Structure 1
Amino acid sequence: MDQQVIIEKVLNNNVVIAEHPTYKEVVLIGKGIGFNRKKGSSITFDEADKTFLLRDEEQKEQYVNLLPYVEEDFIDFMNDILLHIENRMNQSLNEHIHVALTDHIAFAINRAKQDLQFNNPFLFEIETLYPKEYQVAMEVVEMINRKEGTEFPEGETGFIALHIHSAVTDKTLSDINKHYQLISQMVEVIEESLEVTIDKNSVDYHRLVQHLRRAIDRIHVGEEVGEENRLAEMLKTEYPLCYNLSWKLIKVMQKQLNKPVDESEAIYLTIHLQRLVNHKT
């Protein structure tokens, strides 16, 4: 990308505000991109190892307001982190991650240095739902620990994984939080109704949680699964406990997501629930 922009203001060695031919005013973030630059000089995007572009008005303002609270070399380090995430996820990141993750990691480092520990109650769900994001988040935590000489609590890996998932799917953190909390709630309903304790390291748990996530995603976009009336009748007759429980879960999803749920979801939920009953010890 060799597009030229005109520098309006150098914020530090790694961040400049520039005039862009399409997006008007933008924030450019890149290693050394502001070094020895002056207002009015032109610069091309490929002059830094990797340049990230902030064009959304709200994101630009939040990022610029955040800069005075973080060290300049931390911005350089965040550039390395975001580049690592982009390469490992093999896709570009939504620009909101620059504000959200920079802010989160800066404060998390301060918490770790003060030895302020906290738990992330949804760690298992996050790791199961977003395994690739979780793996990359572990790598990011390792990068931070090496640079800062800190020991991040395990819960931070989960939060960073959510930021990564948000940046590659364009879902808001609010929606993502709502979804995995809903999944956690439904797992509790299942355990109570079937009188089982599901091993969170088991294949059954992994399959169930992945299915619930896909169901929520389908409901979110209004996608229908398709009708299987004969199969539904058979499952209702053969496995009434699981079939009724599947409808209980559907009502929970409808209430929490405030969206209609395709009736065929009951079929697939019943099959997953019956698998849990079969493996009940």
Structure 2
Amino acid sequence: MSGFIVEKVLNNNVVIATHPSYGEVVSIGKGIGFNRKKGEELSPQLFDKTFVLKDVKEQESYKKLLPQIDQNLQAAIIESIHLINDRVSGKLNEHIHVGLTDHLLFALQRVSQGMTIKNPFLKETITLYPFEHDIAVDVIDLIQDKTGIGLPQGEIGFITLHIHSAIANKDLSEVNQHSQLIYHLIQVVEEQLGVRINKESIDYSRLVRHLRFMVDRVLAGEKVDEPEKIALLLKEEYPLCYNISWKLIKIMQRKLGKPVCDAEAVYLTMHIQRLQKKIK
């Protein structure tokens, strides 16, 4: 017994159902609404291929999107979310159904009208979230295979952020804020060193990833050990890099509203110095 009883069929892919524990839910799955009748119980076998929206706000948002979506496109998006779900080990935040559906809907509309939106942070996004990026590439391929519409490279970056948001259980706005903070910190490094950093270099990738995990540590209140002797040595040997690292720390503290431990300056200085050394 699944406990899910059909209340109303919205289309071939979406059914309103009721459940004794969850109340009214929106059940989403390719073909789930086909030939369904009110009062019918949804078979348990369906639920490895079906998503259930339990949050009322998400339900309403999804229902508002439905009239705008061609059923074939909707089926392709549902398949894409299944692909993402199959590739991750944890549970996806259910907002991905609204967020990614909405994003893909308008992305496909823009492309069909000959419009494209540039993504100036694509390289950083790939570096920040390589696992999610690999999945996003497969989503783009699946969408093209099912709809015949090829989405531009920049869209991979936006889809990557949606996937990371669902995996990390963070609001997309929060993910965007933290990503923008890292982009800004990289720009500060470039300004202070007076160079354009080679974004294909391994040292650049290491700095971007270091900043990402530094943001995560600050938000979690985690501290790193401070090697005092190294701190003194770096301050004397590489004063420019050491000062830049403190500029970054102050920006991070202001943007995140949380303290950053002094020891972070040591590790940041080493990353910046490695970049400076390659530039000279």
The CA distance in 2 between the partners of 1:242 and 1:113, in whole Å, is 47
Counting only pairs closer than 5 Å after superposition, residues 44-193 of structure 1 correspond to structure 2 as 44-47=43-46, 50-193=49-192
Q: 3-state DSSP class of the match of 1:4?
A: coil
5+ residue gaps, structure 2, are: none
Per the alignment, residue 26 of structure 1 pairs with: 25
* 1:98-123 residue CA offsets vs partner (Å, 9 max, x unmatched): 00111111111111111102211111
The CA distance in 2 between the partners of 1:8 and 1:92, in whole Å, is 26
Equivalent pair of 1:145/1:152 in contact (CA under 8 Å)? yes
Q: Aligned-pair distance for 1:145?
A: 2.0
Per the alignment, residue 223 of structure 1 pairs with: 222
Q: 3-state DSSP class of the match of 1:94?
A: coil
Equivalent pair of 1:30/1:49 in contact (CA under 8 Å)? no
Q: 3-state DSSP class of the match of 2:236?
A: helix
The CA distance in 2 between the partners of 1:12 and 1:66, in whole Å, is 12
Equivalent pair of 2:77/2:143 in contact (CA under 8 Å)? no
Q: Aligned-pair distance for 1:151?
A: 2.8
AA aligned opposite 2:216: D
The CA distance in 2 between the partners of 1:214 and 1:49, in whole Å, is 34
* 1:5-24 residue CA offsets vs partner (Å, 9 max, x unmatched): 11111111221111122221
Q: Aligned-pair distance for 1:55?
A: 0.5
Q: Aligned-pair distance for 1:49?
A: 5.4
Q: Aligned-pair distance for 1:229?
A: 2.6
Matched, 1:4 2:14: no
The CA distance in 2 between the partners of 1:135 and 1:188, in whole Å, is 26
Bigger shift: 37-46 or 214-223?
37-46
AA aligned opposite 1:66: L
Equivalent pair of 1:33/1:48 in contact (CA under 8 Å)? no
Q: Aligned-pair distance for 1:133?
A: 1.2
The CA distance in 1 between the partners of 2:114 and 2:253, in whole Å, is 41
Aligned length: 280
AA aligned opposite 2:248: L
AA aligned opposite 1:133: E
Per the alignment, residue 255 of structure 1 pairs with: 254
Q: Aligned-pair distance for 1:258?
A: 1.6
Percent identity over paired residues: 52
AA aligned opposite 1:14: N
Give the superposed CA RMSD. Answer: 1.5
* 1:29-80 residue CA offsets vs partner (Å, 9 max, x unmatched): 1122222222222113422551111111111110011111112222222121
The CA distance in 1 between the partners of 2:44 and 2:161, in whole Å, is 29
TM-score under structure 1 normalisation?
Answer: 0.94
Per the alignment, residue 270 of structure 1 pairs with: 269
Equivalent pair of 1:183/1:209 in contact (CA under 8 Å)? yes
Bigger shift: 70-79 or 226-235?
226-235
Matched, 1:38 2:37: yes
Matched, 1:14 2:13: yes
Per the alignment, residue 241 of structure 1 pairs with: 240
Equivalent pair of 1:219/1:259 in contact (CA under 8 Å)? yes
Equivalent pair of 1:31/1:49 in contact (CA under 8 Å)? no
Q: Aligned-pair distance for 1:254?
A: 1.0
* 1:130-177 residue CA offsets vs partner (Å, 9 max, x unmatched): 112112111111222223222322111111111111111111111111
Equivalent pair of 1:7/1:18 in contact (CA under 8 Å)? yes
